[in-house]
Amino acid sequence: MVKAKTRDVILKVRVYAGRDDLLKKQDVRVDSTTAVLGLSDALHETIVSVIRDTNHSDFAKKRNGKHNFQYDIGFRFAQSPSSFRGYTHGIDTYPELNIEPLADLFPEPSKPGNVIDVVVNIEVEKRSGGSKKVSAGDWTQTIGPSYALLTYDYFRLGISPGSEEKRDISKKEANTLWASVDAAKREKTIATYDALLAWRRSGERGLPGQWLFPVSVHDFGDVCFGDCNRSEYAVPGSHRQHIYLDYFEWFNREGTLQDLKKKVLKYAGLQTPSQVGSGLPLLPSYTWTDLDCGPAFNSAKWPKGGVKLAIHFVSRMPGMPKLVFPQKLTLAIVNDDEDEAGIVHAAAIGAMKKCPKPKPIEDEAERESCRILLDRKFRDEWVMQIWAVQQDPAPRKLHLWAPHGDTELDDGKMITNFGLLNCLSVAKAREGDSRVFLQAVIGPKDTDSWLVTGTEYTKHKAEDGRKESKKEQKKNMKRQKPKAKERKGKKQEDDEDEDAELEDQEDEDVEEEDAEEEAQGKGGVEGGDEEEEEEEREEEEEKEEENAHAKSGKRRSGNAFSLSKRFLTEAVLRKSVR
């Protein structure tokens, strides 16, 4: 079997020492199949060579095995060939960053010349006394990312009634849930319920204090769509109100919670554990790659029973309390001459209006119903993006429901058809399967100001591909020069005032040039206004961040990321265990 050829991706890398000093610019080629979360591995040797070869005074003095060099990475990609997004992603944690290979960042991954802007920030700090000793000759062993990517194992145990109350589930409720799951397999419907999961850290033998929790899912019979990393609450100490499947079924009738724990640990030790139910909840990753328009999809006819849709909500609203959305929304679109996008949007809004305010559980952060977004104060502040997953045999990826799927009817009305979007596969159509999984992503109205996935990286701004002006080059060269105190070295106290004056003069020169550029921009130089405004915005952001650090009295740390919900000090990768 001939292996398919893959294209390289060009990483335009800029490496910084701390906040201000640009150490090096370098283009690095990597395979497009490289994992986004693996950029630290792909760039590690490049970062090591930069630290080794730089004459940056602070780094040169500390290449002795007594200091740690910690780096973090941000990247930016073009959502379309002509425009880069304004934000930069930070490499930190799943599911905050739910993108898999680099190829998924491009509309045409096989096209040569795909580029990603990458910034690397390096901080150096003295190693703690308890750290393993490293000789001066092996100092490169002290170089590494400032975050740790850990994995967690998840186990599917059964079905939870989704109740926050401590009570036993009735036989009637159990039978109803069973019937819906069976129908999803036999009749190609969508079952909605809470899957009961257990979890533990990979490599550990025991289970944590809280190890049972429910996750809302849309069950398609052969796959459950949901997010193992998102649960509104942990189940109560009692385990009798759940429906256990296959391997754990006897706990419906007898056994203690301790017995169940032993059974779960035994199950975890199986080399080839049997699949329980329809498997673990799957959260598809995002892709900006164009939809597959091959014959496997574009020949599918509109199904007689219409298209059945499952809608999963995600909030990307910054600065708002934790919002709770409808978890089990489904609907069907019967005719192919309807405004499908409008129907989906109206159904989502209607479900949001009916979403009740959740009851506080345990000592978690306050939660709010998503109905708050429909209040007069917020209703004009957000938009809803719809992402869709193609049916098999395509990989299960979330594609943006883009405008190019629109069709104009004779009366001028614009509709969006799932057939034209190539979501329905010919093979599934033959089986009578017309189910499609959608994700409704809620974010600010200015779509360029927020990330669909991931956390924003704010230490440095990625480049936008434009060539620097001569004034920008001169300004950057001045900023890269060693500060006066670094040039002078150790001097007497009398010289320190003179050094400070030199530093202030250099900063004033840069500020004067900034002012001149701003004045020229006001003079109406064509094409220059946008560049000047962008520079001003970046400088204002830098000043605000520096002021915030100054007010807090805290030293800037290499650990720059806000990590996962469950572990604030650890980064998380999902490892599915079926």
Total count of residues recorded for the chain: 578
| Torsion angle defined by CA atoms of residues 154, 157, 163 and 168, in that order, rounded to the nearest 10 degrees | -150
Question: What pLDDT, on the 0 to 100 scale, is given for residue 535?
Answer: 56
Closest CA to 160 of 226, 259, 94, 255: 226
Q: Confirm if 260 and 245 have CB atoms less than 8 A apart.
A: no
Question: What pLDDT, on the 0 to 100 scale, is given for residue 361?
Answer: 52
Q: Say yes or no to pLDDT of 569 above 60.
A: no
Look over the chain and give the mean of its residue pLDDT values, rounded to a whole number: 75
Domains identified in the chain and CATH numbers: 8-147 (3.10.20.90), 153-281 (no CATH), 285-450 (no CATH)
Mean pLDDT of 75-88: 63
What lies within 8 Å, CB to CB, of 499 at 6+ separation is 484, 485, 488, 491
Confidence class for position 224, pLDDT limits 50, 70, 90: very high
Written as six digits, the tokens of 137 are 């000759």
- Mean pLDDT is highest, among 28-42, 331-345, 437-451, for 28-42
Inter-CA distances, 24 with 477, 482, 559, 574, Å = 12, 15, 22, 34
Higher pLDDT, 30 or 415: 30
Question: What pLDDT, on the 0 to 100 scale, is given for residue 384?
Answer: 92
In the chain, % of residues over pLDDT 70: 67
Q: Within a 10 A sphere around the Cβ of 178, how many other Cβ atoms?
A: 14
Residues 492-546: tens digit of each pLDDT: 444 444 444 444 554 455 455 445 544 444 443 344 455 555 555 655 655 555 4
Indicate left, alpha or beta for 362 from its phi (over 0: left) and psi (-120 to 50: alpha): left
Closest CA to 39 of 71, 69, 16: 71
Question: What pLDDT, on the 0 to 100 scale, is given for residue 354?
Answer: 93
What lies within 8 Å, CB to CB, of 67 at 6+ separation is 124, 125, 126, 127, 142
Residues 238-253: tens digit of each pLDDT: 566 788 877 787 766 6
Higher pLDDT, 219 or 578: 219
Cα separation, 251 vs 565, in Å, equals 30
Question: What pLDDT, on the 0 to 100 scale, is given for residue 65?
Answer: 94
Residues 471-496: tens digit of each pLDDT: 545 544 544 444 444 444 444 444 44
Q: Say yes or no to pLDDT of 5 above 60.
A: no
Q: Confirm if 528 and 193 have CB atoms less than 8 A apart.
A: no
Q: Say yes or no to pLDDT of 347 above 90.
A: yes
Which neighbouring-strand residues pair with 219? Answer: 191, 224
Confidence class for position 191, pLDDT limits 50, 70, 90: very high
Confidence class for position 411, pLDDT limits 50, 70, 90: low
Please identify which residue in the block is written with the tokens 């109560």.
236
* Crossing angle for the helix pair 493-522 and 470-480, to the nearest 10 degrees: 160
Residue 95 has, within 13 A of its CA and on its CB side, a CA count of 18
Gyration radius from the chain CA atoms: 27
Question: What pLDDT, on the 0 to 100 scale, is given for residue 462?
Answer: 63
Q: Within a 10 A sphere around the Cβ of 23, how many other Cβ atoms?
A: 21
